[in-house]
Amino acid sequence: MVLEFSKELKATQTNIPGLVVFDLPVHGDNRGWFKENWQRAKMMDIGLPDFGPVQNNISFNTMRGVTRGIHAEPWDKYISIATGEVFGAWVDLRPGKTFGEVFTTRLDPSKAIFVPRGVGNSFQTLVDGTAYTYLVNAHWSMEQKKTYTFVNLADPQLNIQWPIPLEETERSAADLNHPMLQDVIPMAPKRTLVLGAHGQLGRAISKYVEEKELVGFEFADADTFDIADSEAYKNYDWDLYGTIINAAAFTAVDKAETSEGRKAAWQANVVGVANLAKVATEHKITLVHISSDYVFDGITEEHKETEAFAPLSVYGQTKAAADVIVANVPRHYIVRSSWVVGEGKNFVSRMVKLASEAKTNGVTSAQAPSDQFGRLTFASELTNGIFHLLDSNAEYGTYNLTGAGDSASWYDIAVSIFDCVGADSSLIDRNSVEEYAKSTGGAMRPRFCMLDLSKLEATGFTPKPWQDNLTAYIHSLLEK
């Protein structure tokens, strides 16, 4: 082996997505050589992901011909050679159109390679005394080991041209017995944890996952995981997770104005979110957090994502504080919504019940504010939008996500519900959220709650008009 000195630092993409080969400058003289084996800033500039290594491993191989692999592991790794030379072979074992794709090259101290999670890794030493070193971005554990995926070194379908015939090499018994590609189950994606599973959005996400037959999803609520309890986080191996969808929140807007309610709101909506943000940052997890129009004062008729916070209530203050925290997570989506309607008790289900009673009895106790304006957001549509952002790899940041259509007051919506049910909408009493807040000591609410959807639509997702979803939702309730 002749080591090439003073090459220019260079990155070369391969036929396997995310697999990147690096030429490393090695400086040598009669004493030996020196190199920058891994340099975060320089390498990021030319294509190395900021993968955040947490462990450094070294495989020392005493003789020429040692052959190891093919192992796909649940982490990214950056491989280089401390001394010696190897022939490396990599196989894409992730689900998708490049499953089974092969790339081979030789590595010596002047070359390195970045291997993304799920790409099978193997090598054959070409000289005695080869030291093969690699950085990984997850801590090894037995739970992690259970997720490894393997394929056989000798699989004729892969057709890897090993420099030393495999029958002449040193291999482990385990490596000899790995399955052929046709029998390999692709490596599953990292897990997704959905919080607030019992809420309207959590139930909608659960239904979506079931209908789409998605794998790797776990659901938790306050009864199984209190996000404000820092000790509860020790029950999870966070390196196994790629996404957290936080649909958990304290949403009792008026109760948050009380002494006990204020404490509970800050615990769930701020302390809990700070804990999630910390673990998401440390483990490079994508955090999807549900925000609210209540972070604004409602003076502007339509709110953009960039509008300055001006919450009127304790609930709004806690949601604004959480948004500031989540915005500092490198991989985050803040999904700001309003007037969420899903499975369970909500304004629409209550009005459908009252309308049905009014249709039968000719009387009702229905009341609805006529001084607050916005658009309904159905949990199913909110779910569709969240998965669009995740699946399309939309740019991280804040997105407004509500139903489309014209703005309406709660009173207008109540009238639409009564009309759809066939009840007399003149029986509905108009009231005022401002008067209600003053008379009861409840929370002040923003008057205008409509959110601008243009940023979301630019990603390729256009929500359905809330009026269409309202009609379908009412009919589904009436059919029960």
φ and ψ of 272, to 5 deg: -60, -45
- What value, to the nearest 5°, has the Cα angle with vertex 439 and ends 434 and 444? 35
φ and ψ of 290, to 5 deg: -90, 120
Tokens 């090499």 correspond to what residue? 169
Structure tokens at 468: 């269409």
pLDDT tens digits for 389-441?
999 999 999 999 999 999 999 999 999 999 999 999 999 989 898 887 777 77
Structure tokens at 304: 């953009």
Q: Are 173 and 268 in contact (CB under 8 A)?
A: no
Q: DSSP for 224-269, please give it.
A: T--TT-GGGGGGS-GGGEEEEEE------TTGGGSHHHHHHHHIII
Give the mean pLDDT of the chain.
Answer: 94
Amino acid 365 reads S
pLDDT tens digits for 179-235?
999 999 999 889 999 999 999 999 999 999 999 999 899 999 999 999 999 999 999
More confident residue, 331 or 367: 331
Residues with Cβ within 8 Å of 427's Cβ and at least 6 positions away in sequence, in order, are 358, 362, 363, 364, 366, 418
Select the CATH number that applies to the domain covering 10-183 from these four: 2.60.120.10, 2.60.40.1250, 1.20.950.20, 3.40.50.720. 2.60.120.10
Predicted pLDDT at 172: 95
pLDDT tens digits for 232-265?
999 999 999 999 999 999 999 999 999 999 999 9
Count the neighbouring beta carbons within 10 Å of the beta carbon of residue 348: 22
Q: DSSP for 47-79, please give it.
A: T-------EEEEEEE-STTBEEEEEE-SS-EEE
The 3-state DSSP class for residue 287 equals strand
- What value, to the nearest 5°, has the Cα angle with vertex 203 and ends 199 and 206? 140
Count the neighbouring beta carbons within 10 Å of the beta carbon of residue 251: 19
- Whether domain 191-478 has CATH 3.40.50.720: the reply is yes
Give catalytic residues, as residue numbers: 71, 134
Predicted pLDDT at 363: 76
Q: Are 3 and 28 in contact (CB under 8 A)?
A: yes
pLDDT tens digits for 8-29?
999 999 999 999 999 999 998 8
61, with CB counted inside 10 A (0-12, 13-18, 19+), is: buried
Q: In what order do the strands lie in the sheet with 241-246?
A: 217-220, 191-195, 241-246, 286-292, 332-337, 397-400
CA–CA separation, 452 and 375 (whole Å): 11
pLDDT tens digits for 206-216?
999 999 999 89
Q: What is the mean pLDDT of residues 300-305?
A: 95
Structure tokens at 227: 């996000």
* 1 band by pLDDT with thresholds 50, 70 and 90: low
Structure tokens at 97: 């159109």
CA–CA separation, 197 and 219 (whole Å): 6
Residues with Cβ within 8 Å of 368's Cβ and at least 6 positions away in sequence, in order, are 351, 409, 410, 411, 413, 414, 428, 429, 430, 431
pLDDT tens digits for 118-153?
999 999 999 999 999 999 998 888 888 888 999 999
220 to 175, 214, 216, 248: CA distances (angstroms): 38, 17, 13, 9
Burial 310-342 (b: 16+ CB within 10 A, else e): ebbbbbbbbbbbbbebbeebeebbbbbbbbbbb
Which 8-state DSSP code applies to residue 271?
I
The 3-state DSSP class for residue 201 equals helix
Domain ranges of the chain: 10-183, 191-478
